[in-house]
Amino acid sequence: MDVKVSVIIPVFKVEKYLDRCVKSIFSQTYKNLEIILVDDGSPDNCPAMCDGYAKEDSRVTVIHKKNGGLSDARNFGMNAATGKYILFVDSDDWIEPDTAEELVKIIEDRKVDFVNFRAVWDGRAGIPDGTPCNYEPSRELDLGLYDRERMKSELYPRLLVTPDLFLGPVLSAWSGFYNREFLDSHNIRFDTPIKYSEDSVFSARVVMAAESFAAIDRYFYHYCFNGESISFGTHSDWWDVAKIRYGYYEKYFADCENYDFTVQFKRMAIFCVLDGLSEWKAYASDEVKLSQIRMVMNDEFSVNAMKHIGAAKVPLKKKFMLCLIKFRMARLYFWIFNEKKVEK
């Protein structure tokens, strides 16, 4: 068993973490690797570091490109990959030495389209390193082999968004080991306009296209907390991207022949509104915070979405929050959920 594995690592402003990531790939017990470092126009020392790794190990291919974001960088890597299988590793994370070896054994033995594995936290305040990454119970996957019938009964009803308004089952790009031919045959790539939570649409498409996959109880991936990463900080376009993401869900799932996602679209629209409102606390000024809340609440997308709050299966407190949004009670919403009260 000596099939090639393509490891795709997008690189952008991570010179502090990159060596740890790349060395974890170099130290893999499985040696038939194609290591694709995609320098996404990084302005720091990362481009030179990538070139240095290529000189150090002949398995490394470096792609230098204009900055286009994480989705674009992953796509470049996928298009360049020649391995039978694909593994994504974010450049501020790292993996266990036996990751590739064990995943090749599992996917070859079970003959599935992809394998989903688990991760542990690393460097997150208040959480000991090595603690399993657990999410909301409604998002978690049960273990075992999933065929079409099991996916349809257990995953499709919460594939896009759960009834209690969380993004669908946890299938992050980096927690999967994929058959490249499967991805290519279904033309599955990342949608570059989705700058945040890009995994959600990609992973939902992967599940819908798959004939089968295996979810295993192995913790190969170290998900590291990097306060400078795209996942953290304030993003002025967060609300716009939330609506763009919804549009891509409609593109891929509105006319699905295998399952009716109508209810999930209603829930997804509500989730997008909550997601758009999630950024307001990051602003320093109360005036700006209140302005952000009003902007989201008064958006036509939000007005239409909140007509369907009955589709959400949420606790009373969250239902109350949805009512405040529906009736556009921005100041009361701000007063209740802000840490300090609005000055009169």
* DSSP string across 193-242: T--SSHHHHHHHHHHHH-SEEEEEEEEEEEEE--TTSTTSS--TTHHHHH
Co-location of 116 and 49 in the same domain: yes
Has residue 135 got a pLDDT over 90? no
Quote the tokens at residue 20: 């740890």
Distance, in Å, from the CA atom of 107 to the CA atom of 103, rounded to the nearest integer, reads 6
The whole-chain average pLDDT of the chain stands at 94
Q: Is residue 103 part of a domain?
A: yes
Co-location of 123 and 9 in the same domain: yes
Q: Among residues 220, 233, 223, 169, which one has the least CA distance to residue 199? A: 169
Co-location of 216 and 243 in the same domain: no
Co-location of 153 and 244 in the same domain: no
Q: Is residue 342 part of a domain?
A: no
Q: Is residue 332 part of a domain?
A: yes
Co-location of 192 and 266 in the same domain: no
Higher pLDDT, 334 or 235: 334
Domain boundary (224, 246, 280) is at 224
Q: Is residue 343 part of a domain?
A: no
Co-location of 311 and 206 in the same domain: no
Domain boundary (224, 247, 263) is at 224
Co-location of 177 and 252 in the same domain: no
Distance, in Å, from the CA atom of 332 to the CA atom of 194, rounded to the nearest integer, reads 31
Tell me how crowded residue 57 is: count the other CB atoms within 10 A of its CB: 13
Has residue 20 got a pLDDT over 50? yes
Q: Is residue 232 part of a domain?
A: no
pLDDT above 70 coverage of the chain, percent: 96
Q: Is residue 231 part of a domain?
A: no
Co-location of 248 and 155 in the same domain: no
Of 38-47, 129-138, 155-164, give the lowest mean pLDDT range. 129-138
Has residue 341 got a pLDDT over 80? no
Tell me how crowded residue 31 is: count the other CB atoms within 10 A of its CB: 11
pLDDT tens track for 303-317: 999 999 999 999 999
Co-location of 271 and 162 in the same domain: no
How confident is the model at residue 236, as a pLDDT? 79
Has residue 160 got a pLDDT over 60? yes
**Contact between 232 and 131 (Cβ < 8 Å):** no
Average pLDDT value for residue range 44-63: 98
How confident is the model at residue 171, as a pLDDT? 87
Q: Is residue 105 part of a domain?
A: yes
Q: Which residues pair with 198 in a beta bridge?
A: none
Co-location of 279 and 204 in the same domain: no
pLDDT above 90 coverage of the chain, percent: 87
Has residue 231 got a pLDDT over 70? no
Domain boundary (224, 257, 280) is at 224
Quickly state the pLDDT bin for 299 (edges 50, 70, 90).
Answer: very high
How confident is the model at residue 228, as a pLDDT? 57
Has residue 16 got a pLDDT over 70? yes
Quickly state the pLDDT bin for 232 (edges 50, 70, 90).
Answer: very low
Residue 31's domain comprises 5-224
Terminal-to-terminal C-alpha distance of the chain: 71
Average pLDDT value for residue range 205-234: 84
Higher pLDDT, 225 or 136: 136
Q: Is residue 344 part of a domain?
A: no
Q: What is the domain count for the chain? A: 2
Co-location of 322 and 284 in the same domain: yes
Quickly state the pLDDT bin for 229 (edges 50, 70, 90).
Answer: low
Q: Is the pTM of this model over 0.85?
A: yes
Co-location of 166 and 275 in the same domain: no
